[in-house]
Structure 1
Amino acid sequence: MSDTARAEALLAELPDSVRPNGRGRLKVFLGAAPGVGKTYAMLQAAQAQLRHGVKLRAGIVETHGRAETEALLAGLPQQPPKRLEYRGLPLFELDLDGLLAARPQLALVDELAHSNVPGSRHAKRWQDVQELLAAGIDVFTTVNVQHLESLNDQVRDITGVHVRETVPDWVLQEAHEILLIDLPPRELLERLRDGKVYVPEQARAAIDAFFTQTNLTALRELAMQTAAARVDADLNRRYRQQGQDAPSLQGRLLVGVDGDDQAERLVRHASRVAERRHLPWSLVHVDVGRPLGEPSRARLQAAQQLAERLGGEVVRLRGGEVARTLIEHARERRASVLLVGISRPRWQRRWLGSRGVAERLLARGRGLEISVLDNGDNPLPARHFGLHQATRRDYLLAVIASVIATALAWGVSHLLALPNISLVFLAAVLLVAVRSSLGPALVCAGLAFLAYNFLFIPPRLTLFIQRQEDLLTLLFFLLMAGLTGNLAARQRRQLESLRQTQQETTALLDLSRKLTAATDRRAVLAAAIQQFELASDLESCLMSRGKDGVWKVEAGVHRLLAEQERAAADWAWQHGQPAGLGTGTLPVGRWWWCPLAGEDGPLALLGMSPKDGDPLPPERRRLIGALCQPLVQALERAQLAEDLEAARLKGETESLRSALLASVSHDLRTPLTAMRGSIDSLLALGESIPEADRRELLEGTRNEAERLDRYIQNLLDMTRLGHGGLKLSRDWVAPADIVASALQRLRPVLAPLRVETELPAELPLLYVHAALIEQALVNVLENAARFSPPGGRLRLAVTVGRDELRFSVSDQGPGIPEEERSRIFDMFYTAKRGDRGGQGTGLGLAICQGMVGAHGGRVTVDEGLDGRGATLMLHLPLQEQPAAEEET
């Protein structure tokens, strides 16, 4: 036994406070019929819980006017019911939102199988209970055995009453505890006669119609069987807690269904067998390419929906033969039990003695347990050879083809021998079979047989056959026509089936291809909605909900949603389950909502709205579900990419902050230390310091203060550049003025160097923010001065190009290696060798590039003077020069 199964069994026994999923526990009071005391027992248990200090609330309790039941209800905190109107009548239902807001430890919800008033959030009360359990609230509830979905057919056979309010069996299977409330039929009948169940008029009608001694005994047996099955399930869980497998837990049950009348009966029987034997089970339908009529298709869809409600898996297979396909699938899934219904009588088996599906399964299913469910007392009508499956147009085609073949055969009868004329009719039969189905092909073969006999076999114009060989020719013709027609029709059905499969596969491949090319969330959603919009009968949209609860349509149609549809979308998003049209949750509206959920919660919400307003059939929903799988993976991939990018940016930010702190702490401390030393010297020695030395100390202090000011200015400028706070106040300025001001600011820094300036006599004006360009030029000059050798040359030149003006600063320093020239403008990057030598904050050139780039310019790097050092050039665009003012 696996450790996982044992762990799940142990977790089921943990208290709610330590259970990992936080889900509430369900206790079901099960009875055989109304009046056995389920509600009374539930209220007794609730009173005991209240005495133990459990915070509980009675959500809805139906006392039916019974005094002893109402007495137990007194003293229990109650949640007022919700008032709804239906067809002008006020009705009261469970206030689900009120209970969720109150969040009691225990809620009492009577009559689990009750159908809610249209307009409620859920169609059934058991769905309300599931939402309470999901919120971590324990629930006490009641239900009668005749309301179990899998027993619906048996209850109808026993009582003659078709129970419409049902509960899926899996709801009871997930219950933490089931308590059987039993009362002998004689005592229950006495309670009925005494008016303790219904009022006297209703009691008499109930005794005559439903509450008979025989019915109550049979229902009591069903209730006991259900409780016994629960005991088996508990025993099985105990085995798992001990790390052992229960002896009966093995294999899987498969139930094969077709679109016939016994499909739902088969499903219910399979659910009961699987529950008793603790087997997972699947509904399997084999599509052999034969088209189903509308009634058969509706019955098949109803059976598939029933299987999903009862907790089974729905599988659709395609194959040429039902029995072989079922056996192959059973072996693939390691199934041990295969359940089918009795084969419907067909004309082929009656006339030719062929075997049905059940017989072929029994003959071939070695190693499998084959169970065949009979049809009870209702014999299945024979399925004829498919005349109902073809349209009138197909049979009209058969008649027209027969007439044309007859005319063509008559025209060539004088050229061809008699046996060859039959080939014309065979061609017509093949054509009809390929264009329609088997029924019209057989009709065409019959008409061709009569025409061939009547017109071409002597004696002509009679149906009498004179020669024996002609009789054999006709019989062989009819046989070949039937065989070829059947073969062609089968090939056509298989072709249609393959075409449908190809369409589904193509849709998956197209979507996968589009999603593979999508790199972010917006592209993924756009590719998905483009694929969904290929269905012309559907409107689709993909939405997401923000933290404030507001829905945002990210792709697809933008429609204002009604309040009910918005509530369905909210519920689907919160609970990760489909809601809306065609579901049991808020079905009023035109939209079906399917959450696209990943491991960490919902990623998006898919909405589908059929233009005809009808709910989507199960096959269509399963196809959409298959398309949603790669979509969820693509959304998770996009989310992961966004998270990785955010983590990368966060890492880079941390790295930049660390570099900033490290650089700034050093570069700010150096001038502060020098300034403090000079000031301390002046304070300590005072007038004893010679005038020249005192002046040198003061000038040094001023220079370090200016250096500190430039560092701080660089930091402020970089902050403004990074946050878009740098505003340009442009004006016309002469380049010579910018050069003169920059050189004046750096006069102490440039004093040890031989500075050369090359300024043409006539230069165009620049339309720039003068202070920013001056600061950029100062940063470049300071960078060059820092790494120039003492007494080295530094040249500042201004040149004019076709549409730009260039400031060039050249030095004789160590230079900048080729591989680092593209990185020196990065923030906090300082070359280990070269023009920045690992000193400074690494912000000067980054700020320079930002300031020049804000004006539409650029900064480039080239070789320095005499093959040494580097040259940094500021390229600034030239604007159309202003008109010269005339002298007055």
Structure 2
Amino acid sequence: MSDAQRADALLLDSPREGRGQLKVFLGAAPGVGKTYAMLQAAQRQRQLGRDVRIGIVETHGRAETEAMRVGLVEQPMVRRDHRGVALQEMDLDGLLNVRPQLVLVDELAHSNAPGSRHAKRWQDVLELLDAGLDVYTTVNVQHLESLNDQVRAITGVQVRETVPDWVLQEADDILLIDLPPRELLERLREGKVYVPEQARAAIDAFFSQTNLTALRELAMQTAAARVDADLHRRHRLLGQAAPAVRGRLLVGIAGNAEAEGLVRHAARVAERRHLPWSVVHVDTGTSRNEAQLARLQTAQALAERLGAEVVELRGERVARTLLDHAAARRASVLLVGGRGRARRRWAIWQPSVAEQLIRAGCGLEISVLAQTPPDEPVRSPSRKAWNRRDYLLAVLATGGATAIALLLSRFLALPNISLVFLAAVLVVAVRSSLGPALACAGLSFLLYDFLFIPPTFTFIVARQEDVLTLVFFLLMAVLSGNLASRQRRQFQALRQTQADTTALLELSRQLGAATDAQAVATAAVRQLKQTTDLRAIVTTREGRGSWRFLGDSAPTLTEQELAAAEWAFEHGQPAGQGTDTLPSGRWWWLPLSGDERSLGLLGIELPVPSRTAQQTRRLVAALAQPLSQALGRATLAEQLEAARLHGQTEELRSALLASVSHDLRTPLTAMRGAIDSLASLGDSMSESDRQELLEATRDEAERLDRYIQNLLDMTRLGHGGLKLIRDWTAPGDIVASAVQRLKRVLADLRLDVRLPDAPPLLYVHPALIEQALVNVLENAARFSPVGGRLEIAVESDARALRFIVSDEGPGVPEAERKKIFDMFYTAARGDRGGPGTGLGLSICQGMIGAHGGRVAVTDGLDGRGTGVILELPLQPQPELEKDAS
């Protein structure tokens, strides 16, 4: 044994993290003492100090079993109303909330009441195990899914409540509770299993000694198989005589009545021989009625529940396709069905699939399971109507060919007439199937002989060479019809395969072009609608019970459908219609997972579940895989973008705090110093000194006011809270107001204002444009030398009006002219005002941009310094009222 195999065995043997332990008390029949043994084991655990709680225990009135419940805490049951009947069921959610260490769950195969989260109790047990709770449970061997047919053959009773075999295979311990049939029958007669009336009926029907002996043998075989599997694993753990994997079991099924029995038998064979197994159906392109499709889908669903891989293949020859797939998967055993009373209608011409496999399956173990099938169901009226149309086409085609042949017989030789009938056979074969094509060939053969072979209007052939002509005609008609029908089936199979492949490629292409989760969902929903004609939605959970629907409008969901979606998201397993978890709704939920976490759900609306083919479900599941990957990629991209924005926000916040802490502290410090001087010196100061301190305080207060105004404006711009209250305003008024506000800042400079004689009016928010101009002027004053010249010019044309502020400062290099409008960008070159917040020009750009204008940087006065242009669009000028003369 290799180290890797031994490591795998150790991994399988180790307890799964976070999952509870499952112990199954297995019995051959009711009354052997499973519940009593389970309660007895629970009492021992309680004495050891474990928190034990009864989820549900059915004592059926047995006194000794009732006595074993004493001291065990019981979880209250929940009531389910179904058709006016109150049903008591185990409170799954209550147990998950209480979270005891050990839960007792009787009758594992029980079907839950309609409206429960899960259709079966064994699914409740799995959810308890996933939550980390240990579970003790009981089950009878008759309820194992793979033994269903065998139990029916033994007892004559069809067991409706079953448990997949893999559930028992997942159990950590299986304890066989055995009781000899004679003792069990004695308990029945004494009323210790059922009440006397029920006991007599049970003995007469199910509980005969023969049946109990057979069921007891099945229970022992099941327990022995589990012991054998455990022994096999222990050998592998020790590295001793551990057999290697011995290939794979392939099971070939068709849409006939024996498919389910074949799947159950294969499950038992795979378990006994420790083989992985696959259920394979070969689609030859032949049409099937609804009953055959339903049987095929039921068998495939059963195989999935029993743990098999379900494979759908397309091919013309079933046996050859199965052998090729067996070679590709390195299978060692190939199991097919063979009816006990096989119909040998075409046995001479076409051997059965089993016979073809035996002849060609060299190196494979070919097993044939002969079953006695039930009576064939009556074909549906639609199928009969379809057959009638096909055969009517054969008759019409033959009649048409006959009419054409009679017209051409005057001009063409006799051998050429047969080509007309061959053409009719080809047309029928291409448009229908093999049966109508053969019927057309037979009719054509008879009419060709009757109308054209001498002596005409009889079926007598006078010349020997005409016999050979007729034989060859019939042979060519049959071969050509068969070939055309085969080509049609192949074409249909290839077209379906191409459609599926195209759907996957198209979805992958669209998902690759999607940039966010919304685009991913929209592409997936559109492609699924085109491919399957089913309504689909993609949803992600924003909080418990809160869903965000992507790609389509939010559907109206019932409480059951929402619960199914919640469960599918939490557990990463399909739920809803077509599953065993909350199947009563219209929606089928498939989890979309990535990196071991749920990203969202793909919801498919299935209005008519019986007509939704298993192939369609598998196609949807295949399309869900690239959708999960694309959604994970989009989610990761959104998270990275959020992280980038968060980093930039933190960077801006740090810069803002650093800048604001300096720029706000400086004027506050100056103001406080001036106020302290006035307070301490008082009247001892001269009037001129007192006036100077007051003016300095006012200047710093105005400076502080401008800083705060900039911060407020930046906040409004960043959050979209800046509202434009427009009015007609003269540009000269804006310039005059801005200059007045900055009178003290501009005192050391030579200011020139150039205004046109009759400038057009602006339809703007006057205060915002004034503030923008103030920011530009203040920035120019900071960088202008003392005594320098500063110019404000107003220019206009037919489209726009421009405020141009030019200075004689150090200027801005060409490479930095775009950066000066970035937030927190400052340049210390020639700045007489000290470091600032770097928000002034950024706010200016935001305010002008809100009016549809733009801000640009150019050269300053006489080629020196900097010029800032504030350009605003002009609106049609209002008509001014004329003064009354």
Is the 8 Å Cα contact of residues 831 and 837 (structure 1) preserved in structure 2? Answer: no
> Which aligned pairs between 1:657-696 and structure 2 lie closer than 5 A?
657-668=653-664
Is the 8 Å Cα contact of residues 285 and 317 (structure 1) preserved in structure 2? Answer: yes
Alignment partner, residue 369 of structure 2: 374
Distance in structure 1 (CA, Å) of the matches to 2:336 and 2:828: 81
AA at the equivalent of 1:485: G
Partner of 1:342, secondary structure, is strand
Does 2:417 correspond to 1:407?
A: no
> Which aligned pairs between 1:260-409 and structure 2 lie closer than 5 A?
260-342=256-338, 350-352=347-349, 354-368=350-364, 370-376=365-371, 391-409=387-405
AA at the equivalent of 1:750: L
Worse-superposed segment, 330-339 or 546-555: 546-555
Is the 8 Å Cα contact of residues 294 and 610 (structure 2) preserved in structure 1? Answer: no
Alignment partner, residue 594 of structure 1: 590
Q: Which of 112, 115, 127 matches 1:116? A: 112
Worse-superposed segment, 202-211 or 2-11: 2-11
Alignment partner, residue 515 of structure 1: 511
Distance in structure 1 (CA, Å) of the matches to 2:473 and 2:729: 106
Partner of 1:255, secondary structure, is strand
- How many Å apart are 1:786 and its aligned residue? 2.3
Alignment partner, residue 67 of structure 2: 71
Q: Which of 830, 837, 840 matches 1:841? A: 837
Does 2:22 correspond to 1:32?
A: no
Q: Which of 212, 225, 234 matches 1:216? A: 212
- How many Å apart are 1:26 and its aligned residue? 1.6
Gaps of 5+ in 1: 382-386
Distance in structure 2 (CA, Å) of the matches to 1:834 and 1:267: 89
Q: Which of 617, 624, 632 matches 2:620? A: 624
- How many Å apart are 1:160 and its aligned residue? 2.4
Distance in structure 2 (CA, Å) of the matches to 1:407 and 1:462: 18
Is the 8 Å Cα contact of residues 816 and 833 (structure 1) preserved in structure 2? Answer: no
AA at the equivalent of 1:351: I
Distance in structure 1 (CA, Å) of the matches to 2:240 and 2:186: 48
Does 2:474 correspond to 1:482?
A: no
AA at the equivalent of 1:62: E
Deviation string for 1:151-177 (max 9, x for gaps)?
A: 112222222222221111111111121
Worse-superposed segment, 737-746 or 127-136: 737-746
Partner of 1:24, secondary structure, is coil
> Which aligned pairs between 1:52-91 and structure 2 lie closer than 5 A?
52-91=48-87
Is the 8 Å Cα contact of residues 784 and 835 (structure 1) preserved in structure 2? Answer: no
Cα distance change, pair 66–610 in 1 and its aligned pair in 2 (3 A): same
Does 2:631 correspond to 1:635?
A: yes
Q: Which of 131, 150, 157 matches 1:154? A: 150
> Which aligned pairs between 1:9-28 and structure 2 lie closer than 5 A?
10=10, 20=17, 22-28=18-24
AA at the equivalent of 2:119: A
Alignment partner, residue 384 of structure 1: none
Is the 8 Å Cα contact of residues 258 and 373 (structure 2) preserved in structure 1? Answer: no
Distance in structure 2 (CA, Å) of the matches to 1:666 and 1:563: 58
Does 2:444 correspond to 1:448?
A: yes
Is the 8 Å Cα contact of residues 339 and 370 (structure 2) preserved in structure 1? Answer: no
Distance in structure 2 (CA, Å) of the matches to 1:833 and 1:359: 96
Q: Which of 522, 542, 545 matches 1:546? A: 542
AA at the equivalent of 1:255: V
Alignment partner, residue 563 of structure 1: 559
Provide the aligned length of Structure 1 versus Structure 2.
Answer: 877
AA at the equivalent of 1:375: A
- How many Å apart are 1:351 and its aligned residue? 2.2
Partner of 2:347, secondary structure, is helix
Deviation string for 1:643-676 (max 9, x for gaps)?
A: 1221121111112122223333444455566667
Does 2:503 correspond to 1:503?
A: no
Q: Which of 129, 135, 140 matches 1:139? A: 135
- How many Å apart are 1:5 and its aligned residue? 7.3
Is the 8 Å Cα contact of residues 804 and 878 (structure 1) preserved in structure 2? Answer: yes
AA at the equivalent of 1:574: E
Distance in structure 2 (CA, Å) of the matches to 1:291 and 1:837: 89
Deviation string for 1:81-119 (max 9, x for gaps)?
A: 233344433332223233233332222111111122333
Alignment partner, residue 181 of structure 2: 185
Distance in structure 2 (CA, Å) of the matches to 1:655 and 1:306: 59
Cα distance change, pair 585–559 in 1 and its aligned pair in 2 (3 A): same
Does 2:717 correspond to 1:718?
A: no
Worse-superposed segment, 493-502 or 605-614: 605-614
AA at the equivalent of 2:338: I
Is the 8 Å Cα contact of residues 537 and 612 (structure 1) preserved in structure 2? Answer: no
Partner of 2:471, secondary structure, is helix
Percent identity (aligned): 69
Alignment partner, residue 247 of structure 2: 251
Distance in structure 2 (CA, Å) of the matches to 1:80 and 1:684: 81
Q: Which of 811, 814, 818 matches 1:815? A: 811
CA RMSD of aligned residues (A): 3.4
Cα distance change, pair 853–358 in 1 and its aligned pair in 2 (3 A): same
Alignment partner, residue 867 of structure 1: 863
Distance in structure 2 (CA, Å) of the matches to 1:562 and 1:2: 54
- How many Å apart are 1:874 and its aligned residue? 1.7
AA at the equivalent of 1:520: D
- How many Å apart are 1:833 and its aligned residue? 6.4
Deviation string for 1:209-232 (max 9, x for gaps)?
A: 322333222222211221122223
Worse-superposed segment, 445-454 or 588-597: 588-597
Cα distance change, pair 740–407 in 1 and its aligned pair in 2 (3 A): closer
Is the 8 Å Cα contact of residues 538 and 611 (structure 1) preserved in structure 2? Answer: no
- How many Å apart are 1:379 and its aligned residue? 11
Distance in structure 2 (CA, Å) of the matches to 1:133 and 1:44: 21
- How many Å apart are 1:143 and its aligned residue? 0.4
Does 2:172 correspond to 1:167?
A: no
Distance in structure 1 (CA, Å) of the matches to 2:672 and 2:765: 36
Partner of 1:824, secondary structure, is helix
Cα distance change, pair 244–598 in 1 and its aligned pair in 2 (3 A): farther
- How many Å apart are 1:750 and its aligned residue? 3.2
Is the 8 Å Cα contact of residues 816 and 835 (structure 1) preserved in structure 2? Answer: no
Alignment partner, residue 463 of structure 1: 459
Distance in structure 1 (CA, Å) of the matches to 2:439 and 2:583: 46
Partner of 2:801, secondary structure, is strand
Alignment partner, residue 735 of structure 2: 739
AA at the equivalent of 2:368: L
Distance in structure 1 (CA, Å) of the matches to 2:870 and 2:590: 58
Distance in structure 1 (CA, Å) of the matches to 2:546 and 2:669: 57
Q: Which of 87, 92, 96 matches 1:96? A: 92
Distance in structure 2 (CA, Å) of the matches to 1:753 and 1:214: 118
Distance in structure 2 (CA, Å) of the matches to 1:168 and 1:552: 35
Worse-superposed segment, 499-508 or 260-269: 499-508
Does 2:846 correspond to 1:850?
A: yes
Is the 8 Å Cα contact of residues 817 and 834 (structure 1) preserved in structure 2? Answer: no
Distance in structure 1 (CA, Å) of the matches to 2:769 and 2:638: 38
Gaps of 5+ in 2: 377-382
Is the 8 Å Cα contact of residues 675 and 704 (structure 1) preserved in structure 2? Answer: yes
Alignment partner, residue 379 of structure 2: none
- How many Å apart are 1:13 and its aligned residue? 6.0
Alignment partner, residue 380 of structure 2: none
Distance in structure 2 (CA, Å) of the matches to 1:447 and 1:730: 91
Deviation string for 1:505-561 (max 9, x for gaps)?
A: 233233333333333222332233323333786444444443151445444465533
